[in-house]
Amino acid sequence: MEGYLYRLDFKVRDYECDLQGIVNNAVYQNYLEHTRHEYLKTKGVDFAEIHREGKDAVVVRVEMDFITSLVSGDAFYVTLKVEQKGRMRLVFIQEVYRSRDDWLMLKGKVTTAVVEKGRPHPIDDLADRLRTA
């Protein structure tokens, strides 16, 4: 949990669970994405504005290590930190923790890039803005 720039709290909803009674693996990607978007909002990053400028932020790789499953009703939180990878990519390091015992449930790593007219665009300015607490 140390070194994270942002935390967002959630609660598991019944419809996010599969027949086994645990959160479906695909739902975790939604949790990670929502946390990234909320963090970006706190930094004044607006996807619609970036798009109007002719650029788009895109996910190029997702890695998720499932440790333990959340179940319906579990309160949990997602943490986030940002690393720059070269001049073209940002990597969001994210973890999901169950709130009642701060138990690590999932480790995630989401690599993103900005493209302009379908070509990679440097992210130096954006990266500097996002790394500050």
Which residue out of 9, 18, 65, 124 is catalytically annotated?
Answer: 18
Check if the beta carbon of residue 90 is closer than 8 Å to that of residue 126: yes
Give dist(CA 11, CA 107) in Å, integer: 18
Catalytic residue check, 18: yes
Helix (H, G, I), strand (E, B) or coil at 122: coil
DSSP 59-107: EEEEEEEE-S--BTT-EEEEEEEEEEETTTEEEEEEEEEETTTTEEEEE
Catalytic residue positions?
18
